[in-house]
């Protein structure tokens, strides 16, 4: 989509107009051959990516899965992105709760915020093509989105190559901020390692330490690291892993894989699936009678390590009843930031946001806030403003954007699916079992290999 969209009104401040004039003067200097110019703190700023920004507006790119296995998440991400742009231009939402914040709700550095939209198709190659089009044709200063780690990683490499910051959407693979981390990529969402570390003790407490688990795993980077992490931490609690089958991302029929689970001596099925994959595999497992089975003298259990309200809604209350997993955020949280976002999202769309929506909304605000704090769109300075930035007002507790790997650390949630007799409304599908503190899931920065790379692309 090439059409640029924006909020309804301007709200320019005298300070913003002065900044716009200063930027225009700098651009004019560039046009007559000056290779660098100076703004805040006397930093020499070269042309990188789509910096310097010309004109009265600045363009963000939102590259979400509008088709494919994660399209439901993509639709909610796009709703959140549009709301974030509206709030940046007009105020409202988490602009009232984010601290520390330099956002005023009157645009960004004296410019109106606009956006363009692309479709990742839940495919890395398609995502790169769409992102490159945004960067080269639409001149986006930042892009974000995606509901697949393979897609996120592909876009991070492109971001580093072209010098345009990528604010990851929903990506849960350890590799995103591990071996494939990049200086121009930032992740607010938690990862598979944190899911495993938070969930395993709860599983041992609820189901016992003498359990035998069989995994079905999405066959790409997220599934691989989710399997490795949940296996690591459940085995630490005493569980035995008896099998794992890698399943194609495009699979819709999981019967042959579920048959292998039934033919094993496993008494727990772990579904390392997300989106429509999880909806289909869980539904089919229930149809196979797995939730009514006894194995090894125990009730057979199903675990979904990475949960979402959208997935719970798709699978249905009867199927998710009692199923444990983790989530990055939930709309029922009562902290000021969460409720400000929920109220504004419900007012705009008529229903509560998902965790995918929350992480994309927050990422957009964090990027904009970094630009205001740095006083420039110059990518190296914006990156430095994000690195080791600690903030609150976007969810429960304080959040740290660690500079060493660009991973956010915050409280995460262990949740349980609510059955038909437990839910209090259409969207009341997940019960918060435990809010695991940031300090309990953080890990040393050298836990995973990888190098961020330079501030100025080669």
| 78 and 167 inside one domain | yes
| 356 and 420 inside one domain | no
Position 6 scores a pLDDT of 63
| 172 and 92 inside one domain | yes
First-to-last alpha carbon distance for the chain, in angstroms, is 29
Between these two residues, 228 and 2, which has the higher pLDDT value? 228
Residue-wise pLDDT for 235-284, tens only, equals: 999 999 999 999 998 999 999 999 999 999 999 999 999 989 999 999 99
Share of the chain above pLDDT 70, in %: 90
Residue-wise pLDDT for 322-341, tens only, equals: 999 999 999 999 999 999 99
| 40 and 94 inside one domain | yes
| 11 and 143 inside one domain | yes
* 453 within some domain: no
| 159 and 45 inside one domain | yes
Position 146 scores a pLDDT of 84
Position 4 scores a pLDDT of 66
CATH number, domain containing residue 416: 3.40.50.2300
* 458 within some domain: no
* 306 within some domain: yes
| 179 and 59 inside one domain | yes
| 58 and 170 inside one domain | yes
| Mean pLDDT, all residues of the chain | 91
* 338 within some domain: yes
| 147 and 54 inside one domain | yes
| 281 and 360 inside one domain | no
Question: What is the arithmetic mean of pLDDT over 35-49?
Answer: 62
* 130 within some domain: yes
Position 15 scores a pLDDT of 35
* 36 within some domain: yes
| 62 and 18 inside one domain | yes
**Which pTM was predicted?**
0.90
Question: What is the arithmetic mean of pLDDT over 363-381?
Answer: 98
Sheet holding 240-247, edge to edge: 240-247, 212-218, 268-272, 301-306, 324-327, 412-417, 430-436
Confidence band of 458 (pLDDT split at 50, 70, 90): confident
* 449 within some domain: no
Position 21 scores a pLDDT of 41
* 405 within some domain: yes
Point out the domain boundary residue: 410, 432, 449: 410
Q: How many domains does the chain have?
A: 2
Residue 17 pLDDT > 50: no
Q: Could you give the residue ranges of the DSSP H alpha helices within 48-191?
A: 71-90, 124-136, 149-162
| 11 and 156 inside one domain | yes
How buried is 127 (Cβ within 10 angstroms: 0-12 exposed, 13-18 middle, 19+ buried)?
buried
Which residues constitute the domain of residue 12?
5-190+333-410
Question: What is the arithmetic mean of pLDDT over 61-86?
Answer: 94
Dihedral angle computed from the Cα positions of residues 417, 434, 247 and 296, in that order, rounded to the nearest 10 degrees: -80
102/16 Cα distance (integer angstroms)? 12
Position 10 scores a pLDDT of 37
Share of the chain above pLDDT 90, in %: 86
Residue 315 pLDDT > 50: yes
Range from 23-27, 311-315, 425-429 carrying the lowest mean pLDDT: 23-27
Position 147 scores a pLDDT of 82
Residue 179 pLDDT > 70: yes
Range from 32-46, 129-143, 391-405 carrying the lowest mean pLDDT: 32-46
């Amino acid at each position: 989509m090439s059409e640029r969209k924006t909020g309804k009104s301007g709200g320019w401040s005298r300070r913003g107009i002065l900044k716009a004039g200063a930027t225009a003067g700098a651009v004019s200097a560039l046009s007559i051959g000056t290779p660098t110019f100076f703004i805040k703190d006397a930093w020499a700023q070269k042309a990188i990516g789509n910096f310097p920004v010309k004109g009265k507006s600045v363009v963000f790119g939102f590259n979400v899965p509008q088709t494919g296995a994660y399209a439901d998440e993509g639709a909610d991400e796009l709703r959140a992105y549009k709301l974030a742009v509206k709030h940046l231009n007009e105020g409202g939402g988490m602009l009232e709760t984010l601290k520390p914040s330099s956002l005023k709700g009157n645009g960004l550095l004296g410019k109106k915020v606009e956006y363009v939209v692309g479709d990742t198709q839940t495919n890395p190659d398609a995502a790169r093509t769409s992102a490159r089009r945004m960067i080269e044709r639409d001149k986006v200063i930042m892009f974000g989105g995606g509901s697949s780690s393979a897609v996120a990683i592909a876009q991070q490499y492109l971001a580093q190559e072209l010098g345009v910051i990528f604010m990851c959407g929903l990506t849960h693979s350890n590799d995103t901020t591990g071996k494939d981390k990049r200086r121009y990529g930032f992740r607010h969402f938690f990862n598979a390692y944190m899911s495993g570390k938070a969930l395993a003790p709860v599983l041992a407490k609820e189901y016992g330490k003498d359990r035998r688990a069989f995994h079905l795993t999405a066959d790409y980077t997220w599934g691989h690291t989710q399997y490795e992490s949940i296996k690591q931490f459940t085995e630490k609690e005493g569980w035995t892993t008896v099998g794992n089958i890698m399943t194609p991302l495009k699979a819709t029929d999981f019967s042959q894989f579920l048959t292998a689970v039934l033919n094993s001596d496993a008494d727990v099925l772990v579904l390392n699936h997300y989106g429509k994959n999880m909806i289909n595999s869980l539904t089919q497992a229930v149809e196979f009678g797995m939730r009514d089975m006894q194995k090894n003298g125990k009730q057979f259990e199903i675990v979904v390590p990475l949960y979402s309200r959208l997935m719970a809604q798709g699978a249905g209350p009867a199927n998710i009843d009692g199923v444990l997993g983790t989530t990055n955020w939930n709309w029922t949280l009562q902290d000021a930031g969460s409720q400000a976002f929920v109220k504004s999202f419900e007012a705009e769309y008529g229903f509560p946001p998902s965790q995918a929506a929350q992480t994309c909304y927050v990422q957009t605000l964090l990027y904009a806030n970094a630009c205001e704090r740095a006083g420039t769109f110059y990518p190296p300075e914006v990156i430095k403003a994000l690195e080791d930035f600690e903030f609150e007002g976007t969810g429960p507790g304080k959040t740290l954007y660690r500079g060493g790997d660009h991973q956010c650390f915050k409280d995460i949630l262990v949740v349980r699916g609510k059955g038909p007799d437990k839910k209090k409304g259409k969207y009341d599908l997940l019960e918060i079992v435990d809010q695991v503190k940031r300090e309990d899931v953080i890990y040393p920065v050298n836990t995973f290999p990888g190098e961020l790379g330079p501030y100025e692309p080669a």
